């Protein structure tokens, strides 16, 4: 917008230089035939030299901005995909931890009952050994010597 104003300002300066104060008292379209050539030359100049046109500069800046925005959107999309991947991995870890907790609870119960069985067997064997030693020292299974 400021570039267009500069181009318009350039045309206004040329008009003021050429006609000065007489433009204020002139009849409508009185200077049209003289100044049309100046306008045509100015338009031709901006058409033939697009690099001098601020419209072209603005368009170039818009194109650059558009490329930057596309790049930013692409990076956001890839970041979103990475976040989605992290969410999936987190869900997998949660499921694995729940499964591990259940399996460890089952293993703890199995080990508890295995230990109970082992203690009962050791206790039974110990009682049997004690009974055998008592039976031998008291004269047999009915322990007749030790009863009286």
DSSP 69-98: HHHHHHHHHHHHHHHHHHHHHHHHHHHHHH
DSSP 8-state symbol, 27:
P
pLDDT over 60 at 4, yes or no: no
Contact indicator for 62, 1 with CB cutoff of 8 Å: no
pLDDT band at 1 (very low <50, low <70, confident <90, very high): very low
Q: What is the pTM of this model?
A: 0.41
Average pLDDT, the chain: 82
Angle CA(143)–CA(147)–CA(148) in degrees, nearest 5?
Answer: 140
Nearest CA to 55 out of 37, 69, 41, 43 is that of 43
124/19: higher pLDDT: 124
Distance CA 137, CA 56 (A): 119
Orientation angle between helical segments 2-19 and 54-137, nearest 10 degrees: 170
Distance CA 37, CA 45 (A): 12
- Can you tell me whether residue 141 is helix, strand or coil? coil
- Please report the pLDDT score of residue 118 as a whole number: 97
| Residue pLDDT, tens place only, 78-136 | 888 888 888 899 999 999 999 999 999 999 999 999 999 999 999 999 999 999 999 89
């Amino acid at each position: 917008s400021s570039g267009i104003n500069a181009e318009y300002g350039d045309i206004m300066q040329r008009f003021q230089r050429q006609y000065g104060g007489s433009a204020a008292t002139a009849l409508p379209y009185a200077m049209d035939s003289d100044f049309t050539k100046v306008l045509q030359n100015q338009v031709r100049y901006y058409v033939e030299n697009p690099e001098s046109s601020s419209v072209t500069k603005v368009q170039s800046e818009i194109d650059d901005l558009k490329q930057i925005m596309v790049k930013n959107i692409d990076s956001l999309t890839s970041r979103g995909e990475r976040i989605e991947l992290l969410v999936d991995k987190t869900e997998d870890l949660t499921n694995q931890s729940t499964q591990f907790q259940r399996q460890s609870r089952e293993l703890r119960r199995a080990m508890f009952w295995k230990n109970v069985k082992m203690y009962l067997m050791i206790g039974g064997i110990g009682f049997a050994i004690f009974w055998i030693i008592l039976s031998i020292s008291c004269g047999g299974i009915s322990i007749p010597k030790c009863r009286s």
